Amino acid sequence: MKAGYVRGVYSSAQVQRILQAFNDASCGEVVINVRPENNHLFTRLLEKLAPGDTLAVWTLGCAAGSSSDLTKLIASLNAKRIGFESIAEGLAVPAGSALSSAMIAARIDRIRSTEERPARRPIRRHRTGGGLAASPAAPALVAAPAR
């Protein structure tokens, strides 16, 4: 199972695009937390995940406020053989991959430092020996057709 998580307040058009991106990423369940101060929805979602599952978040900031907290979260999920994916940044850590916390932290810092540059350069797609992958900026999002 791949479960998605979004934290923040978005317009209805943005929510449609986000949900379409999660659908494209094959997420079976998506939790949208519009009250970021209430972290219990995220905690409950984490408790549902089993080995072989994947936690997909819209952005890295949805999962943790700091790089060190995010690194700890991903390492904890990895130890439980749960994968991690950030849809917008294109970061993927497969379940049970042989990545050290230092490798994860370095990749997160590289993505975040790229985001902070005024003129963003896309992250080049590549794979390292441990299985960490990054893709260019978020895929083109298309709103779901009106019914």
Question: Residues 76-103: pLDDT tens digits?
Answer: 898 899 999 989 888 888 887 766 666 7
Domain ranges of the chain: 2-134
Please tell me the pTM assigned to this model: 0.69
Scanning 3-142, the segments in alpha helix (DSSP H) are: 12-24, 40-48, 60-63, 67-79, 101-116
Q: Assign residue 28 a region: left if phi > 0, alpha if psi is -120 to 50, beta otherwise?
A: alpha
- For residue 46, what pLDDT is reported? 92
The CATH architecture that domain 2-134 belongs to is 3-Layer(aba) Sandwich (3.40)
Q: Say which residue, 23 or 120, is predicted with more confidence.
A: 23
Q: Each residue of 107-139: pLDDT tens digit?
A: 777 776 765 444 444 444 444 444 444 443 433
